[in-house]
């Protein structure tokens, strides 16, 4: 389906992807040269770079979302989160949501880290015994939570014109993927081969692979949000707006 949606549109998709990687390269160089050190200025610069990176990733998803929905698309979609009419509100929700999701996703590794720390500090073998088990549990739970909130950027893009707290958007995201996590996991695993292709082509292949992966994710998102509301636990989540409406 994603290939069909991208047919005849790969030119601009590749151009946007190239611009995305170029900007990220520039800000990475800036961070490594100017942002090193423990000064407040360096910390502020690093945070700004992180915000820009998050915004650009959301913008690339917005571009692919427009393609998946047969809407008008443009290379300027990359900067949609900097749009004063909705984009900045969505960006603030995305930042808060990413922080909350990061904490939730990393939390399962705390018992593993504690046992490993005490084994290294104390040297008691009893602290090492549960480490492999706790690591496996941490990976499983972390993957589960990552899948639960995987569509958060798309949910936020669909609600940029609404004043909805980040927590409510996360709850909506969890409702959308309820019963769909295994399908989502299979789809993401299927991209591993393409990722290796991108690596073996020294990153050049990602100019084509990234739009394909993101468009596939957008098509999957529209597929599960188009299901009957009873299957999405809609009464526990904010109402999804019509996927044909452009929030910007």
pLDDT in tens, 147-194: 999 999 999 999 877 778 888 999 999 999 999 999 999 999 999 999
With bands split at pLDDT 50, 70 and 90, how would you rate the model's confidence at 229?
A: very low
* 134 lies in some domain: yes
Q: How many CB atoms lie within 10 A of CB 174?
A: 19
pLDDT of residue 110: 94
The angle subtended at Cα 236 by Cα 234 and Cα 69, nearest 5°, is 40
Mean pLDDT for the chain overall: 85
Residue 246 domain-assigned (yes or no): no
Identify whether 194 is part of a domain.
yes
User: Residue 128 corresponds to which tokens in the numbers above?
Assistant: 């090492």
Q: Is residue 16 part of a domain?
A: yes
Residue 123, in any domain of the structure: yes
Domain presence at residue 243 = no
Q: Is the pLDDT of residue 99 over 60?
A: yes
Cβ count near 8 (within 10 Å): 7
How many domains does the chain divide into?
1
pLDDT > 60? residue 247? no
pLDDT (0 to 100) of residue 217: 95
Note whether residue 232 is domain-resident. Answer: yes
Tokens encoding 54: 């998050």
Residues 9 and 13: their CA atoms lie apart, in Å, by 6
Q: Is the pLDDT of residue 76 over 60?
A: yes
The angle at the Cα of 23, spanning 19 to 29, to the nearest 5 degrees, equals 145
On the question of pLDDT at 133 being above 50, the answer is: yes
Euclidean distance between CA atoms 103 and 207, whole angstroms: 31
Q: 């820009």: which residue's tokens?
A: 52
Global pTM reads 0.84
In which domain, by residue range, is 122 found? 2-236
Residue 245 belongs to a domain: no
């Amino acid at each position: 389906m994603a290939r069909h949606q991208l047919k005849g549109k790969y030119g601009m998709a590749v151009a946007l992807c190239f611009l995305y990687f170029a900007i990220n390269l520039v800000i990475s160089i800036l961070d490594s040269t100017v942002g090193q050190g423990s000064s407040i200025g360096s910390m502020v610069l690093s945070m700004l770079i992180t915000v820009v990176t998050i915004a650009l990733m959301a913008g690339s998803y917005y571009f692919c979302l427009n393609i998946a929905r047969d809407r008008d698309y443009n290379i300027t979609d990359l900067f949609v989160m900097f749009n004063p009419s909705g984009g900045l509100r969505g960006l603030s929700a995305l930042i808060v949501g990413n922080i909350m999701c990061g904490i939730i996703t990393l939390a399962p590794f705390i018992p593993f880290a504690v046992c490993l720390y005490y084994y290294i500090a104390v040297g008691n073998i009893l602290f090492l015994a549960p480490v492999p088990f706790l690591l496996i549990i941490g990976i499983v739970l972390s993957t589960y939570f990552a899948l639960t909130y995987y569509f958060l950027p798309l949910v936020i893009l669909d609600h940029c014109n609404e004043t909805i707290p980040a927590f409510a958007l996360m709850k909506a995201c969890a409702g959308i993927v309820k019963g769909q996590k295994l399908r989502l996991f299979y789809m993401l695993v299927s991209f591993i081969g393409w990722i290796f292709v991108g690596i073996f082509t020294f990153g050049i292949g990602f100019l084509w692979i990234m739009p394909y992966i993101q468009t596939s994710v957008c098509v999957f998102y529209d597929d599960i949000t188009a299901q009957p509301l009873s299957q999405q636990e809609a009464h526990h989540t904010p109402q999804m707006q019509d996927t044909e409406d452009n929030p910007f």
